[in-house]
Amino acid sequence: MSDRSRNLPRRSCLSVPGSSERFLAKAPTIPADMSFLDLEDSVAPLEKEGARAKVVEAIRNLEWDDRVLCVRVNAWDTKWTYADVIEVVGNAGERLDEIMLPKVQSAADVIAMDRLLTQVEINAGLPKGHIGIEAQIESTLGLINVEEICAASPRLETIVFGPADFAASMEMPVLTGGVQIPNYPGDHFHYVFSKILMAGRAYGLQVIDGPFLKVKDSQALRDYCNRTVTLGYDGKWALHPDQVTVINEMYSPTAEQFELAWSILDAYKVATEGDRKGAVMFGDEMIDEASRKMATKFVTRGERAGM
Ligand code: GLV
Ligand code: MG
C-alpha cells in the first residue's frame, strides 16, 4: 500500500545510481530513511535500458528493512518513461513504495503517471493505489504550477525541490546547484523553498529538499540544510553515505526541542482537562490550541526519528 510509506520519515533520501550493481548492493546498508534507485540523471543514456533490470533485481533480492523505497524514472519529455514504469513496477512493484517523477511541469504530468500506474498495477496483480508518487519541482513552469501539481493525485506523497535543474531553468549565475550565490543579499532560494513548502503542506504532502553537490564538505552541507530545516522541510537528498548522518541529525528535532514540546503538551492537557480553559500559562508564556499543534509537530518528527 502506498499508505505504508506516506507517514514514514524521509529525513535522508539516498540517491543510488540504478546502473551500478556495486552502489545498489551497498544501499541497504546505509542508514537512510529512504532510498531511491535512479534511472534518470545519474544514469548515462546508453545504460538507461540495462539499468531497469538491475533496479528490479535489487528491489526483489536485497533486504530493504522498512525504509521508503522509491525509483526515479525518466521525465515525460524523454523516450524512456513508460517502459521504466512498466518494467520496474510490473516486476518489482510489491516492495516498491513510490515512483519519483522528475521535471514535473503541470498537474497533467502527475495525472498521466497516476493513470499509467493504475494500468500497470492491474496487470501486475497489485492493489489499486499501491504505488505512491513523488513529484520533483525543478523548472520555472513546475514552480509556477506547484499548487495544481500538489493537488493532482491522491497517489502523491511528497513534493521535492531540485535545486540543480531549477538553477539551470532560471539561468541563475551559479555552477553548483543549490549553493548560496556569493554577494546575494539573503537566500536566493527563499521564495522557492517557501512556495513549495506551502503548496505541499496545503495538500498534506511531505516536503523534501534536493541534493547538495559538494559531497566532501560537511560544514557547507550543514549550512545548506539549515536553510530548509528552519522553514520546516521534512528531509533532504543524500548523494553520498557521509551526507546521510549529517542530514538525519539536521532534520531531527534536538533533544531539547523534543522535551520542551512534550512538556507543553503535558501542561496543556492537564490545564485544559474538562474543556474549561482555552489559553493557559506555561511558565511565563501563554499557550493555547495553536501551541498544542506546534508542539505536536515536534513530537511527531521526534518519534519518527526514534526519539
Ligand atoms: C535534482 O534532480 C536537481 O536537479 O537538483
Ligand atoms: Mg534534477
Predicted ipTM of the assembly: 0.99
Is there a single domain that holds both residue 200 and residue 100? yes
What is the C-alpha to C-alpha distance for residues 79 and 102, in angstroms, rounded to an integer? 14
Q: How far apart are CA 209 and CA 306, in angstroms?
A: 21
Domain end residue (candidates: 251, 270, 286): 251
Residues 246 and 261 in one domain: no
Cβ neighbours of residue 192 closer than 8 Å, sequence gap 6 or more: 143, 161, 166
* Across 99-115, average pLDDT: 98
* Residue that finishes a domain, picked among 251, 271, 295: 251
Whether 22 has a binding-site annotation, put simply, is no
- Residue 78 vs residue 271, higher pLDDT: 78
Same-domain check for residues 173 and 236: yes
Considering the domain architecture, whether residues 267 and 220 belong to the same structural domain is answered as no
108 and 50 belong to one structural domain: yes
Would you say 43 and 268 are in contact if contact means Cβ atoms under 8 Å apart? no
3-state secondary structure of 68: strand
Does residue 236 form part of some domain? yes
Strand positions, DSSP E, the chain: 12-17, 34-38, 68-72, 98-101, 132-137, 156-161, 206-209, 235-238, 280-282, 285-287
Residue 299 in any domain: the answer is: yes
User: What domain count does the chain have?
Assistant: 2
Q: What is the pLDDT of residue 64?
A: 97
- Cell numbers for 236, please give them: 533532504
Mutate to test the pocket of ligand 1, among 14, 15, 40, 41 (most ligand atoms within 8 A of CB): 41
274 secondary structure, DSSP code: G
Same domain for 236 and 298? Answer: no
Closest residue CA from atom 3 of ligand 1: 162
- Hey, how many other C-beta atoms are within 10 angstroms of the C-beta on 131? 29
Q: How many CA atoms lie within 13 A of 263 on its CB side?
A: 10
Q: What number does the ligand 1 atom closest to the CA of 41 have?
A: 2
Same domain, 89 and 197: yes
What is the average per-residue pLDDT within 283-293?
93
Q: What range does the domain containing 284 cover?
A: 255-305
User: Is residue 2 in some structural domain?
Assistant: no
The reply to whether 4 falls in a domain is no
3-class secondary structure, 36: strand
- Contact between 212 and 226 under an 8 Å Cβ cutoff? The reply is no
> Are 262 and 299 members of one domain?
yes
Which long-range contacts link 149-154 to residues 24+ away (Cβ below 8 Å)?
Answer: 149/104, 149/106, 149/107, 149/109, 149/110, 149/199, 150/199, 150/200, 150/202, 150/203, 150/205, 151/107, 151/203, 152/107, 152/108, 152/110, 152/111, 152/114, 153/110, 153/111, 153/113, 153/114, 154/129
72 is in an annotated binding site: yes
**What pLDDT shows up at residue 180?**
86
Output the CA 207–ligand 1 centroid distance in Å: 15
Dist. CA 40 → ligand 2 center (Å): 8
Contact indicator for 84, 74 with CB cutoff of 8 Å: yes
Please tell me the predicted confidence (pLDDT) of residue 296. Answer: 95
> Do 140 and 121 have their domain in common?
yes
Over range 198-204, report the average pLDDT.
98
CATH of the domain at 28: 3.20.20.60
Q: Does the pLDDT of residue 109 top 70, yes or no?
A: yes
What per-residue confidence (pLDDT) applies to 2? 55
| pLDDT for residue 277 | 79
Q: What is the mean pLDDT of the chain?
A: 95
Residues touching ligand 1 (Cβ under 6 Å) are 136, 138, 162-165, 177, 210-211
Q: Does the pLDDT value for residue 42 go beyond 70?
A: yes
Cα separation, 29 vs 39, in Å, equals: 20
Please tell me whether residues 190 and 284 are part of one structural domain. Answer: no
With beta carbons less than 8 A apart as the criterion, state whether 149 and 122 touch.
no
Q: What is the pLDDT of residues 50-66, one digit of tens each?
A: 999 999 999 999 999 99
* Lowest model confidence (mean pLDDT) among 8-17, 117-126, 192-201, 295-304: 295-304
**Structural domain contains residue 17:** yes
Q: Same domain, yes or no, for 247 and 259?
A: no
Is 229 among the domain residues? yes
Last residue of a domain, one of 206, 232, 251: 251
17 touches 42 (CB < 8 A): yes
Q: Is residue 224 part of a domain?
A: yes
Asked, for residue 286, whether it belongs to a domain, the answer is yes
Q: Is the pLDDT score of 97 beyond 50?
A: yes
- Asked whether residue 120 falls in the same domain as residue 18, the answer is yes
Which ligand is closest in space to the CA of residue 161? 1
In the chain, what percentage of residues exceed pLDDT 90?
A: 89
Atom 2, ligand 1: residue with shortest CA distance: 162
Position 1 pLDDT exceeds 50: no
